[in-house]
Amino acid sequence: MHDENVGHATTTGLDNRKMLMWVFLASDCLFFGSLISTYMVMRSQSGVGPLPGDIFDILYTSVSAFVLLMSSLTMVLSLAALQRGDHKNTRIWLLATAFLGAVFLGGQYYEFTVFVAEGLTLSTNIFGTTFFVLTGFHGTHVAIGVMMLLSMYGASVLGKLPQSSSLNLELVGLYWHFVDIVWIVIFTIVYLIPS
Amino acid sequence: MASLSYILRRPTSEYGVWGWLTTVDHKKIGTLYMVTALFFFLIGGIEAIMMRAQLATPDSTVISADLFNQLFTMHALTMIFLAIMPLGVAFFNWLVPLQIGARDVAFPRLNALSYWIYLFGAIILNLGWFTATSPNAGWFAYANLTSIQYSPTNGMDYYVLGLLVLGTSSLIGAMNFVVTIINLRAPGMTLIRMPIFTWMAFITSILLVLAIPVITIGLIELGFDRFFNTLFFSSAAGDVLLWQHLFWVFGHPEVYILILPAMGMVSEIFPTFSRKPLFGFPVVVFSGIAIAFMGWSVWAHHMFATGMGPVPDSVFAATTMAIAIPTGVKVFNWLATIWGGNIRFTTAMMFALGFIALFTIGGLSGMTHAAAPSDLQQTDTYYIVAHIHYVLFGGSIMAIFAGIYYWFPKMYGRLLNERLGKLHFWLVFIGMNITFGPMHYVGLIGMPRRNYMYPTDMGWDFWNMVASGGSIIMAIGVLVFIHNFYRSARKGEISGDDPWDARTLEWSIASPPPHYNFAEIPTVTSGDAFWHQKYPDGDKGVPHPVPSGGEDHDEVHIEMPRPSFYPLITGIGIALLGLTLVTHPIVGVVGIITLLWGSYGWMLEPAE
């Protein structure tokens, strides 16, 4: 962490790492943009079922989307706690965020197994292909986020996340909120808008 | 915690093999990039010579059809992803911190990581040579030629995995340079005072940040199709044209990623050797920005032959013709810079002038296939091959040679030999025109590209023999250059700090620069900052000694980032992960462990 400002303060006054995270998120927008475009192009091209209308359980996925959205709230609470030096609440809300993320992942895993049981796999039809790859890559992003949250928790327990390095947690938060927002887009396009 | 800091201690040697393996110094990383990229430039050249040997005569059987497919695929991939792009990055690394008055890039260790991933990605892409199954579906790898059914060997697997790994490298490097250029400028260096090469590096980096994820998705989808039986590009259930869209949405910004750094280099060279400021500096900058924007709206001109229909054809023809405007503006700016200047015909200047001539020819032939009707006649003929070599060889490579002659003294403290340099220039300039010029003609009379053999009664024999002869002349030119590079790095004439009477900050410090670059961070009050420090009385005045330098400050202790093992370890982890799908799951497990070791060590290692 110490290497990143060589010699002098930054030109814009913004921290280099924060800017790097924003640039990365810009890049990730194109990453998901391309995946979502693929889904949109292919959405009505499946010749054989099952199709979205056959297997989506909107209520179930709404609940898991709600869980993921709530994790953004706990993320904010954790950062706010660290910024005022309240390490106990920082850790509580960090664990809560990681837990909600894990619940979302578990829910996605269960959803995938149900779909496979109903006959939708990666190679059943183009809906299966695009659906699993799109939501799977989002799930991978969430999983990496959970790992980052748990690393932050570990750092906090070891006393390596002082109030003065709240920026580290803020960066994880930026990533986490981004992953949430992407889910809102995916949920709307894939689940809510009928093809 | 003492044991923890011992385990995580940072390497101390900055010399020898470990010094190179653990370096985080942007200058050393720039040298690593340059040497590696020049090596792959030679490999790509050998591939080209082999193809020209096969094509020199009709009905030739020097090379089999299968090997020929691998050669043209790997030649393009090698030249684009392993030579020209990393040569640009080599210059970014060397010059951007020096030009903006910084001591290093914003993230030195990420910078090292991006080099190691590039090296490993290059190796993965070339693995096929060891089993004679290199990628063979062309560099743009149209679906569904790339499916398991039509490409059953491992070749396209190396293509997918190699390019994914290389993309990671480009993305990390580009993010680093975006932050560096926005955030590490010396006091007073506003955007409009920023040197033009750094401007082009900035625009190129933004293009990379936004274009790499698109090809990443294309490659992931292709990889899923090949490894996990998905249907993305299946002709029955998927959409074969989707690959072309994804590839060219990346691919067209990519050609500007290849040419903008070259434009930045010649835009530094013309003012220096004409002893005039760059004509219309802001216009050159805004033309670069305009090219970067418009570069996103032209991709489907690669797809006229797919039958998109009259409306898309017309729209993409119009946007493609429009993008020639900012490009043409730049050409006129360079000409106006030279006009009335006090011109010195150094080797660097000659290569830069060659760039203008050849790039303009390439740009004009580009205009002829912007028009959809004439493009239908030209698609997949040697006319396209001629075009891309005039813009990539005549454009990018000529400018990169110019840049090497121009900045070599800053990198090594020695001049490249000018006599050998001029021999190099004339051999390459003449050889390239003899090789690629006739391809316009044989293409227009119908010779298709990518065929390993052609019959004798088509009227193509003579010009193919000429083209093959030209490629030998070019190859001799490149050998002269390699000899010059190798000899001058050790025994060349000592250059001094500012051999060309140049204009930008990198020339204000010692050659080669001390590891901290600037003993004191300069304060910038104008564009062409160093020039105005040297000539406070105007261009006609007498040069004043400029006291920034760095030689006499050795006693000053300047805190620089220590070398680190972790970029290399993290890079190895990513490379092993990349190899998992073509080897064994155990490689993936080792890769994940190495990656975690690298990244946690990275986070936890002490600053000292």
CATH of the domain at B534: 1.20.210.10
Dihedral of CA B586/B589/B595/B600: which sign? Answer: negative
Mean local confidence (pLDDT), B427-433: 97
- Does residue B195 lie in a domain region? yes
pLDDT one-digit tens code per residue, B224-240: 999 999 999 998 889 99
Report the pLDDT value the prediction gives residue A51, as an integer from 0 to 100: 87
Could you tell me if B181 and B281 lie in one domain?
yes
What is the 3-state secondary structure of B202-268? HHHHHHHHHHHHHHHHHHHHHHHHHHHCCCCCCCCCCCHHHHHHHHHHHHHHHHHHHHHHHHHHHHH
Residue A124: what are its φ and ψ, rounded to 5°?
A: -70, -55
CB-nearest to A23 from B178, B224, B228 is B178
Name the band, by pLDDT with cuts 50, 70 and 90, for residue A5: very low
Angle B265-B266-B268 from CA coordinates, rounded to 5°: 70
Mean local confidence (pLDDT), B376-398: 95
Name the band, by pLDDT with cuts 50, 70 and 90, for residue B4: low
User: How far is residue B53's CA from residue B300's CA, in Å, rounded to a whole number?
Assistant: 34
Report the pLDDT value the prediction gives residue A1, as an integer from 0 to 100: 37
Residue from B164, B168, B183 whose CB has the most chain A CBs within 10 Å, to mutate: B183
pLDDT score of A164 more than 60: yes
User: How far is residue A193's CA from residue A56's CA, in Å, rounded to a whole number?
Assistant: 12
CB-nearest to A122 from B216, B218, B230 is B230
Could you tell me if B474 and B587 lie in one domain?
no
What is the 3-state secondary structure of B552-587? HHCCCCCCCCCCCCHHHHHHHHHHHHHHHHHCCHHH
Could you tell me if B594 and B538 lie in one domain?
no
pLDDT one-digit tens code per residue, B17-26: 888 999 999 9
**Are the Cβ atoms of A27 and B109 closer than 8 angstroms?**
no
- Does residue B20 lie in a domain region? no
Could you tell me if B595 and B521 lie in one domain?
no
Could you tell me if B5 and B36 lie in one domain?
no
Could you tell me if B532 and B597 lie in one domain?
no
Numbered residues of chain A with Cβ closer than 8 Å to any chain B Cβ: 1-8, 10-12, 14, 16, 19-20, 23-24, 26-28, 30-31, 33-35, 38, 41-42, 45-47, 122-123, 125-126, 128-130, 133, 137, 151
**Are the Cβ atoms of A45 and B229 closer than 8 angstroms?**
no
**Are the Cβ atoms of B607 and A3 closer than 8 angstroms?**
yes
Helix (H, G, I), strand (E, B) or coil at B56: coil
- Counting Cα atoms < 13 Å in the Cβ hemisphere of B604 gives 21
In this structure, what token pair is assigned to residue B437? 């010029």
Instruction: With beta carbons under 8 A apart, name residues in chain A contacting B229.
Output: 122-123
Q: How far is A153 from chain B (nearest CA, A)?
A: 14
Instruction: With beta carbons under 8 A apart, name residues in chain A contacting B106.
Output: 4-5, 16, 20
pLDDT score of B327 more than 70: yes
Report the pLDDT value the prediction gives residue A7, as an integer from 0 to 100: 43
Q: How far is A38 from chain B (nearest CA, A)?
A: 8
* Interchain CB contact of B521 with A (< 8 Å): yes
Report the pLDDT value the prediction gives residue A195, as an integer from 0 to 100: 62
pLDDT score of A189 more than 50: yes
Name the band, by pLDDT with cuts 50, 70 and 90, for residue B9: low
Long-range pairs for B386-389 at CB < 8 Å and ≥24 separation? B386/B436, B386/B437, B386/B439, B386/B440, B386/B443, B387/B362, B388/B362, B389/B362, B389/B432, B389/B435, B389/B436, B389/B439
Mean local confidence (pLDDT), B51-55: 96
Task: Indicate if B3 belongs to the active site.
Answer: no
* Count of other CB atoms within 10 angstroms of residue B461: 17
What is the 3-state secondary structure of A56-97? CCHHHHHHHHHHHHHHHHHHHHHHHHHHCCCHHHHHHHHHHH
Instruction: With beta carbons under 8 A apart, name residues in chain B contacting A19.
Output: 178-179, 182-183
Report the pLDDT value the prediction gives residue A2, as an integer from 0 to 100: 41
pLDDT one-digit tens code per residue, B143-160: 989 999 999 999 999 999
Could you tell me if B11 and B95 lie in one domain?
no
Mean local confidence (pLDDT), B337-358: 96
| Number of domains forming the structure of chain B | 2
With 0-12 CB in 10 A as exposed, 13-18 as middle and 19+ as buried, what is B262? Answer: buried
Quote the mean pLDDT of chain B.
Answer: 92
Report the pLDDT value the prediction gives residue B554, as an integer from 0 to 100: 53
Name the band, by pLDDT with cuts 50, 70 and 90, for residue B608: low
Task: Indicate if B396 belongs to the active site.
Answer: no
Catalytically annotated residue among B27, B52, B302, B440: B302
Whether this prediction's pTM lies above 0.90 is answered by yes
User: How far is residue B181's CA from residue B201's CA, in Å, rounded to a whole number?
Assistant: 9
Quote the mean pLDDT of chain A.
Answer: 92
Q: Give the residue on A whose Cα is nearest the Cα of B180.
A: A16
Could you tell me if B541 and B551 lie in one domain?
yes
DSSP letters of A87-126?
Answer: HHHHHHHHHHHHHHHHHHHHHHHHHHHHHHHTT--TTTSH
In this structure, what token pair is assigned to residue A144? 């990496």
**Are the Cβ atoms of A47 and B171 closer than 8 angstroms?**
no
Task: Indicate if B75 belongs to the active site.
Answer: yes
Report the pLDDT value the prediction gives residue A43, as an integer from 0 to 100: 84
Could you tell me if B508 and B397 lie in one domain?
yes
Task: Indicate if B507 belongs to the active site.
Answer: no
Contact present, A131 and A189 (Cβ < 8 Å): no
User: How far is residue B322's CA from residue B312's CA, in Å, rounded to a whole number?
Assistant: 15
What percentage of chain B's residues is helix, strand, coil (to nearest 5)? 70, 0, 30
Mean local confidence (pLDDT), B585-602: 94
pLDDT score of B519 more than 70: yes
In this structure, what token pair is assigned to residue B510? 């010692």
The superfamily in CATH containing domain A12-45+58-192 is Cytochrome c oxidase, subunit III, four-helix bundle (1.20.120.80)
Name the band, by pLDDT with cuts 50, 70 and 90, for residue A4: very low
User: How far is residue B217's CA from residue B228's CA, in Å, rounded to a whole number?
Assistant: 15
Residue B103: what are its φ and ψ, rounded to 5°?
A: -90, -25
Task: Indicate if B410 belongs to the active site.
Answer: no
User: How far is residue B252's CA from residue B260's CA, in Å, rounded to a whole number?
Assistant: 13
Name the band, by pLDDT with cuts 50, 70 and 90, for residue B558: confident
Could you tell me if B248 and B391 lie in one domain?
yes
Could you tell me if B241 and B110 lie in one domain?
yes
- Does residue B508 lie in a domain region? yes
Beta partners for B381? B448
Mean local confidence (pLDDT), B421-448: 96
Task: Indicate if B256 belongs to the active site.
Answer: yes
Could you tell me if B593 and B514 lie in one domain?
no
pLDDT score of B14 more than 90: no
Q: List the domain range (segments joined by +) for residue B595.
A: 1-15+562-608
Report the pLDDT value the prediction gives residue B16, as an integer from 0 to 100: 79
With 0-12 CB in 10 A as exposed, 13-18 as middle and 19+ as buried, what is B69? Answer: buried
**What residues have CB less than 8 Å from B469, skipping those under 6 apart?**
B56, B434
- Does residue B43 lie in a domain region? yes
Report the pLDDT value the prediction gives residue B199, as an integer from 0 to 100: 97
* Interchain CB contact of B210 with A (< 8 Å): yes
Report the pLDDT value the prediction gives residue B6, as an integer from 0 to 100: 60
Domain ranges for chain A:
12-45+58-192
Task: Indicate if B254 belongs to the active site.
Answer: yes
In this structure, what token pair is assigned to residue B179? 């932050």
Mean local confidence (pLDDT), B164-184: 96
